[in-house]
Amino acid sequence: MNVMSPDSYVTADGRTIGGTLMEMKNITLRFGGVVAIKDISFDIREGEIRAIIGPNGAGKSSMLNVISGFYVPSDGDVWFDGAIRPKMRPYQVARQGIARTFQNIALFEGMSVLDNIMTGRLTKMKSNMLSQAIWWGKAQKEETEHREKVENIIDFLEIQTIRKTPVGNLPYGLKKRVELARALAAEPRLLLLDEPMAGMNVEEKEDMSRFILDVNDEFGTTIALIEHDMGVVMDLSDRVVVMDYGRKIGDGTPDEVRNDQKVIDAYLGVSHD
Amino acid sequence: MPDQFLYAVEVIINGLMAGVLYALVALGFVLIFKASGIFNYAQGVMALFAAMTLVGIQKGQIPFAKLINTVMGTELEHFPWTVPVIPAIILAFGVMILFAIIVEKYILKHLVNQPEIILFMATIGLAYFMEGFGDIMWGPEIKKLDVGLPQGGSFWIEDMTIGLGGENFYGFFIDKLDMVATVVAILLVAALTIFSQYSKQGRALRAVADDHQAALSVGISLRFIWVLVWSIAGFVALVAGIMWGAKSGVQFSLSLIALKALPVLMLGGFTSIPGAIVGGLIIGVGEKLFEFSIGPLVGGATENWFAYVLALIFLVFRPQGLFGEKIIERV
Ligand SMILES: Nc1ncnc2c1ncn2[C@@H]1O[C@H](COP(=O)(O)OP(=O)(O)OP(=O)(O)O)[C@@H](O)[C@H]1O
Ligand SMILES: [Mg+2]
């Protein structure tokens, strides 16, 4: 478990929330004239489920992209694990232990489910080419260990039956689940989920909610997720950041933001799909 | 067995072996195309450059000797040594890796997310640059490549098969060099397959070939993979350069083997390694058989155009190639 920091606490359902894992300080992101994120600060604490909500185009995905290094903020600092993060490329961020899924699903369509999830282990694989060629046996042993971890995740997410299926042939809901599996395979410290339930039916949404809660509970993984469905957000998250037009208009527990007048206004008359 | 039939068999065997060499060149194209979506026009010149470099290193030639002599007024030509075959091949591969790093750093890095046609044009530029650069580095004259590969026909096979036919059948004439090339190509393909299926970097390479964003999100450095794939393509070019160079000398025409690879790619699909191999074999056998059977009727020299005609006919019926992914236009 994590070292208990002075301000850690235990939630009503018995999970320990630790100190700050990630902190965004005065982040601004511009695309030419468009300001996608305007001077936003918030933190993510170790072990919590942090939601980012807001109407379409509010800048939620942009924020997730900043955290995962896909976008470089025009202004502001990103702090991770107590240190300021220098400008990093997405693959370097991934190697720091931040895994993610995408709003529009980015899987390796030509590979099987198993192979897709195995790529999630790449950051954990040690053997380089030369040693693999020389120490064939050792490399095989490592491969087996990774396979075991991956099989555990497959069992955990209940996708045993599609292990060998090419991902391109899967229905949307299952693709989302495989993408989650790949992210989990990296055993991330921070897991970023961009609308993990978008486009799913009720049953699939319930499954996904359960998986997210279980991941957080069983592995202690810190999770930041974007979600449109207010009900889902209220059920899942410990704290919520609310964005609108690139600004932060609310931040607190689900109950606090639900009763915040600014948040209510932002959502009034706005279609959330 | 009728002699005519036996000669046809001989033609097919020779066609298969020529096809292996076409496949080898096509393989270099496929690797780069899969990983980065770039049609590397310079693949043929890379083979030429690799072969020139190998010869230069073997002979202990001083690179840029002419240039240095002109500028400095010196009379440099050779180092006081020659390099044995194996170390020379390793050094030449080292030069190709260096080349891959330079290409990534000074070309690819600056062109990411550009339309494919721009990247294609960049490789055309690269091809002409390399051609000139190779000449300046190692001199433009035709070079003899000698890495100790056997030459000429195999008497052993001739002796073994002579009994098959009648009076006028002298046994199969099979070029020894072609046989070596076939074995080498098979080994190379096997090694590449094992590498891409079972190694960490191979898995990363397949991931990049499939989806850049997803690859980044699992911690793969695209730049590293590009260097890796251009290095591998450089190695494939070196092997192709050695085989073709040993056959017909290291000279400009060697770079034109790339043009032979083009119909192979049309047939096999640009994204499929098995496609490149099967495509190469079909073209190799097809063109030899056609020349053997129809050639005499139309005055010969059909090998220059047969491959293209075959590929064009093929394109009409299966534009994605034999094994290529089906192209579905998204609307
Ligand atoms: N790569 C980009 N280039 C230019 N503009 C961008 C880019 N990415 C996002 N934007 C703009 O930034 C703003 C915020 O977009 P973003 O995708 O972050 O919103 P969102 O809150 O995730 O919306 P949704 O709920 O629809 O997913 C939008 O105006 C969008 O057009
Ligand atoms: Mg979004």
Dihedral angle at the C-alpha atoms of B13, B16, B21, B23, nearest 10 degrees? -170
CA angle A90, A96, A102 (to 5 degrees): 45
Dihedral angle at the C-alpha atoms of B273, B275, B281, B287, nearest 10 degrees? -130
Q: Does A123 touch chain B (CB under 8 A)?
A: yes
Residues 6+ apart with CB under 8 A from B94: none
Residue A220 CB less than 6 A away from ligand 1:
no
User: Do A151 and A116 fall into the same domain?
Assistant: yes
Q: Does the distance separating the beta carbons of A119 and B203 come in below 8 Å?
A: yes
User: Do A27 and A83 fall into the same domain?
Assistant: yes
User: Do A111 and A80 fall into the same domain?
Assistant: no
**Contacting residues of B for A125, CB less than 8 Å apart:** 200
Output the pLDDT for position B324.
Answer: 63
- Interface A-B: count of C-beta contacts within 8 A: 83
**pLDDT tier at A244 (50, 70, 90 boundaries)?**
very high
| Residue B324 located in a structural domain | no
Nearest CA in chain B to A102: B214
Q: Does B86 touch chain A (CB under 8 A)?
A: no
pLDDT in tens, B40-99: 999 999 999 999 999 999 999 999 998 999 998 888 888 999 999 999 999 999 999 999
Q: Give the residues across from A166 on adjacent strands.
A: A112
- Tally helices (H) and strands (E) across chain A: 10, 12
SS (H, E, C) A128-167: CHHHHHHCHHHHHHHHHHHHHHHHHHHHHCCCHHHCCCEH
Structural domain boundaries enclosing B190:
3-317
Nearest-angstrom CA–CA distance, A209 and A51: 13
**How high does pLDDT run on average in chain B?**
88
| Residue B297 located in a structural domain | yes
CB of B131 closer than 8 Å to CB of B253: no
SS (H, E, C) A21-69: EEEEEEEEEEECCEEEEEEEEEEEECCCEEEEECCCCCCHHHHHHHHCC
| Residue B327 located in a structural domain | no
Pick from A27, A29, A30, A34 the residue to mutate for probing ligand 1's pocket: most ligand atoms within 8 Å of its CB. Answer: A34
Whether residue A249 is predicted with pLDDT greater than 70 in this model: the reply is: yes
What phi, psi does A34 have (nearest 5°)?
-75, 130
Domain C-terminal end among A187, A208, A235: A187
Nearest-angstrom CA–CA distance, B88 and B59: 9
Q: Give the residues across from A28 on adjacent strands.
A: A75
User: Do A119 and A75 fall into the same domain?
Assistant: no
Structural domain boundaries enclosing A255:
1-88+190-196+222-273
Whether residue B329 is predicted with pLDDT greater than 60 in this model: the reply is: no
Say if residue A160 is exposed, middle or buried (CB neighbours under 10 Å; 0-12, 13-18, 19+). Answer: exposed
Nearest CA residue ID for atom 30, ligand 1: A57
pLDDT in tens, A181-198: 999 999 999 999 999 998
Total domains in chain B come to 1
Output the pLDDT for position B238.
Answer: 95
| Residue B157 located in a structural domain | yes
Nearest CA residue ID for atom 29, ligand 1: A57
* CA of B221 relative to ligand 2 center, distance in Å: 25
| Residue A212 located in a structural domain | no
Q: Does B203 touch chain A (CB under 8 A)?
A: yes
Nearest CA residue ID for atom 1, ligand 1: A31
Residues 6+ apart with CB under 8 A from A33: none
Determine how β-strand A247-252 pairs with β-strand A75-80.
unpaired
| Residue A214 located in a structural domain | no
| Residue A239 located in a structural domain | yes
Nearest CA in chain B to A118: B203
- The stretch A81-101 carries a mean pLDDT of 96
| Residue A204 located in a structural domain | no
Total domains in chain A come to 2
- Test the A interface: residue of B200, B211, B218 with most A CBs within 10 Å: B218
Considering only the C-alpha atoms of chain B, give the largest distance between any 2 of them, rounded to a whole number of Å. Answer: 69
Q: Does A7 touch chain B (CB under 8 A)?
A: no
Strand order from edge to edge, sheet including A239-244: A98-100, A190-194, A222-226, A49-53, A239-244, A247-252
Nearest-angstrom CA–CA distance, B176 and B297: 30
| Residue A206 located in a structural domain | no
Q: Does the distance separating the beta carbons of B219 and A94 come in below 8 Å?
A: yes
Domain C-terminal end among A170, A187, A204: A187
Residue corresponding to tokens 């601004």: A28
The number of angstroms, rounded, from the C-alpha of B309 to the middle of its chain's C-alpha atoms is: 21
pLDDT in tens, A216-242: 999 999 999 999 877 888 889 999 999
Nearest CA in chain A to B214: A106
- Residue A29 alpha carbon, nearest atom of ligand 1: 12
* CA of A76 relative to ligand 1 center, distance in Å: 19
pTM: 0.86
Domain C-terminal end among A165, A187, A209: A187
CB of A226 closer than 8 Å to CB of A242: no
The ligand placed nearest to the CA atom of residue A55 is 1
- Residue A65 alpha carbon, nearest atom of ligand 1: 18
Output the pLDDT for position A153.
Answer: 96
**Contacting residues of A for B222, CB less than 8 Å apart:** 91
CB of A117 closer than 8 Å to CB of A146: no
| Residue B32 located in a structural domain | yes
DSSP 3-state assignment of A80?
strand
Q: How many Cβ atoms from other residues are within 10 Å of residue B172's Cβ? A: 21
Nearest CA in chain A to B191: A133
Q: Does B198 touch chain A (CB under 8 A)?
A: yes
Q: Does the distance separating the beta carbons of A115 and B218 come in below 8 Å?
A: no
Closest CA to B180 of B250, B243, B93, B248: B243
* CA of A58 relative to ligand 1 center, distance in Å: 7
pLDDT in tens, B190-249: 888 888 887 888 889 989 988 999 999 999 999 999 999 999 999 999 999 998 898 888
**Contacting residues of A for B113, CB less than 8 Å apart:** none
CATH number, domain containing residue A157: 3.40.50.300
Amino acid at B85: V
Output the pLDDT for position A268.
Answer: 66
**pLDDT tier at B328 (50, 70, 90 boundaries)?**
low
pLDDT in tens, B307-316: 999 989 888 8
Q: How close, in Å, is residue A169 to chain B by CA atoms?
A: 14
Q: Considering Cα of B248, then B253, then B255, then B261, what sign does the dihedral take?
A: negative
Q: Two tokens at B80?
A: 């006081």
- Residue A62 alpha carbon, nearest atom of ligand 1: 18
Output the pLDDT for position A130.
Answer: 61
- The stretch A4-16 carries a mean pLDDT of 79
- The stretch A16-37 carries a mean pLDDT of 94
User: Do A5 and A50 fall into the same domain?
Assistant: yes
